[in-house]
Chains A and B, each alone.
Chain A
């Protein structure tokens, strides 16, 4: 093994390491866009000058002893609710510039490029609201269940916390995840391409338990309407088969109560189904015999086909995967260095059976290692050892779920659905590594 092969694989974060702090705001970013190329050229020169790494203070390194090894630390319990290290403060949800017209009906994306394993930390679970995020008082929150039932009932949160509970790990993916990529690559990082995705351990009452408790009409009931307590009072139709199978009325998220961004104090959890069906701030469930055709299942959240027809009630999130590292915006520094390719795979139809990875744009594939646990309708972490030989590469992942369904290529999706259907883009993602090791979002 020569010297270069012994070097660890290094990544630098991004090519654009030249902008000032102000450059990060959307406003000045837009101004830069409009301001012409001159500023860009100057910035690139600066970029080279600043490419050097973190200058560690030699006094903090062996054989010396850093101050944190000598000083008395903070008292225990200084942070009664713990926070990440200040050195992690850039690990945050982000809004995609220019995506939405208001900040209340908008989305903040999960930084998938920064995460390990399959569980999304609660503070990083993506947030999609339609009329802003309410602060619901749980002592005054009520769940009403009525419609085709023997006895319409109202439950307090205290009631719901007393029912027999279950905990299960499931992903939630917005139906519009990867929507911006139908026509062309449109965003730079996996946070924006795939970040309307999260996975948590959810705790709650099986909806079937509550439906039994109100004595739902098993003969007539075909659908459930779920409604939120937010300004949108967002509604979605849930087929009764799903409702009785694995739907939860959930209050717990990774061991604590739901975060407000995820529907505190109560949300519906409809495993494997479009994120929007997992109605947040759940206030009402109505048992009925027809679908409701709500705005969010007619004007929006329907798949527009090339012939102008819209596919309606397309609930299921089909199998999909993405490599989260190396991914768009990163920079591989070491030719011949070792890099672990890692990413996530999931299916709304069950478990992930296999993930294959290609480094040559889909010509040849190798099967990745799957990290246990491999759970139904949950994220599955995959990994593959890789040594980058320094030549340009095209990284892809392709998953197969337990039904045998193989994640499609972008062009296969377009052949059937065109480029305007917004929802359900589960295409294979391609990350291009150029000769300098910079990683770009491309399509092949």
Chain B
């Protein structure tokens, strides 16, 4: 089970502010009673002691299926993807100069893995997995991290017994958790001759700014340069443009397409323009892409599958596919 005794040592009771509560307060007669059914629908949090874990179970093998269809495109077949957040590997790296924060290397509680997948994953369609699927994916990710064996079945009881490698890796620090906590830095307000020698120890490498940011001119208000600078250039995103983008650009955001695709570069899936290039002059392409998006698939662009997309309305999907096949124009 996940340890929380260290954190109890924080002495939270001392944080309580007495007197803020007005026991005999006004009866505002606002709001209404929440029914048990309403609470059950939203009461999804899972605590380290297991409180909140739902009925259900899932095996590593079942989890592999869910993971391959819903998770691998971002986290990689073995959870060690460099494209997105790695969720496996990195054990022992936390003391090094290049810590990798994964389920295996850093997370302290298996219950937290369940809670997070259940509420926030899969990234484009959160809360779409059943409790059994969440248990299964949790089992699979734990297995990817060599924390549980291949025959592991996750359920309410077994998750609590999982020993996470970094379960003892957390400590309280009252200096930042209590308003009266004692800080861990102790600078003084010296006013004169405070440093014997001042040396610049770090600066940005030459050409770094030009390479990463291009011009910084527009980061500043021309007026504050005493008319040395011109007004902002016309190609900046205008207020009107920001609020009235092309429909398709809104749609690909809305339906999460851009989580895996970009117009001009491969992310997880192919660039939209690569798709357009591939199907150039192919009269049946629109119909086939439509089916592919709706039903999902893999093989054309590698083994990473595209999950079925049910959210887009028919009209929106047609608009998106036509835009993609038109070469994903900016405007």
Contacts and interface: CB of A to CB of B under 8 A. Distances in A.
A88 B221 contact: yes
Contacts of A400: 189
Contact of A114 (B21, B123, B220, B237): B220
B104 to A, nearest CB: 11
A378 B130 CA distance: 44
B215 interface: yes
Contacts of B32: 153-154
A170 to B, nearest CB: 15
B99 interface: yes
Contact of A16 (B12, B123, B217, B227): B217
A262 interface: no
Given A291-B7, A316-B179, A24 B222 contact: no
A341 B115 CA distance: 48
Interface in B69-108: 83-85, 94-95, 97, 99, 101, 103, 106-108
A13 B115 contact: no
Q: B42, B208, B214, B221 — which one has the most chain A CB atoms within 10 A of its CB?
A: B214
A40 interface: yes
Interface stretch (B170-178, B276-284, B316-324): B170-178
A67 interface: no
A432 B30 CA distance: 57
B231 A54 contact: yes
Interface stretch (A68-76, A196-204, A298-306, A383-391): A298-306
A33 B186 CA distance: 40
Contacts of A165: none
A335 interface: no
Nearest to B201: A443
A380 to B, nearest CB: 16
A231 B120 contact: yes
Interface in A230-289: 231-235, 239-242, 244-245, 272, 283-284, 286, 288
Nearest to A55: B230
B225 A10 contact: yes
B176 A356 contact: no
Given A231-B120, A442-B202, A420 B99 contact: yes
B193 interface: yes
A209 interface: yes
Contacts of A1: none
Contacts of B230: 53-54
B2 interface: yes
A213 interface: yes
B213 A325 contact: no
A144 B39 contact: yes
Contacts of B107: 295, 298-299
Contacts of A138: none
Contacts of A33: 207, 211-212
A290 to B, nearest CB: 6
A354 B235 CA distance: 42
B189 A90 contact: no
B27 to A, nearest CB: 9
Given A299-B112, A318-B176, A188 B187 contact: no
Contact of B232 (A87, A223, A364, A405): A87
Contacts of B47: 288, 290, 292-293
Interface in B9-67: 10, 12-17, 20-23, 25, 28, 30-34, 38-39, 42-45, 47-49
Given A16-B214, A241-B15, A406-B189, A53 B7 contact: no
Contacts, number: 403
A242 B30 CA distance: 24
Contacts of A371: none
Given A18-B215, A213-B31, A241-B16, A295 B203 contact: no
A211 interface: yes
B226 A10 contact: yes
B207 A40 contact: yes
Interface of B is mostly: loop
A290 B48 contact: yes
A283 B127 CA distance: 15
A329 B220 contact: yes
Contacts of B258: 103-104
B313 interface: no
Contact of B45 (A43, A89, A286, A424): A286
A168 interface: no
B300 interface: no
Given A14-B217, A56-B227, A306 B95 contact: yes
Interface in A36-67: 37, 40, 43, 53-54, 56
Nearest to B192: A364
A329 to B, nearest CB: 4
Nearest to B26: A164
A436 interface: no
B204 A92 contact: no
B246 interface: no
Given A185-B204, A212-B22, A333 B228 contact: yes
Interface in A86-133: 86-92, 94, 97-98, 101-105, 111, 113-114, 130-132
B150 interface: no
A23 B195 CA distance: 41
Given A54-B228, A231-B126, A154 B38 contact: yes
Contact of A185 (B20, B33, B123, B203): B203
A101 B213 contact: no
B99 A152 contact: no
A441 B177 contact: no
Contacts of B210: 16, 19, 29, 32, 40, 43
Given A98-B212, A316-B179, A406-B188, 12 more contacts: A13-B229, A32-B214, A111-B219, A154-B38, A209-B25, A233-B126, A293-B109, A295-B116, A304-B101, A308-B169, A312-B7, A312-B171
Task: Rank and list the top 7 A-B pairs by shortest CB-CB distance, nearest first.
Answer: A33-B211, A241-B15, A13-B220, A14-B216, A361-B198, A314-B176, A90-B232
Interface of B: 2, 4, 7, 10, 12-17, 20-23, 25, 28, 30-34, 38-39, 42-45, 47-49, 83-85, 94-95, 97, 99, 101, 103, 106-109, 111-112, 115-116, 119-120, 123, 126-127, 169-173, 176-179, 181, 183-195, 198-204, 207-222, 224-233, 235-239, 253, 256, 258-259, 264-265
25 contacts: A13-B216, A53-B229, A86-B238, A88-B221, A91-B221, A101-B85, A104-B123, A113-B220, A144-B38, A162-B28, A185-B204, A208-B21, A218-B21, A231-B127, A241-B17, A245-B17, A293-B111, A298-B109, A311-B171, A329-B209, A349-B179, A356-B189, A363-B195, A406-B186, A444-B200
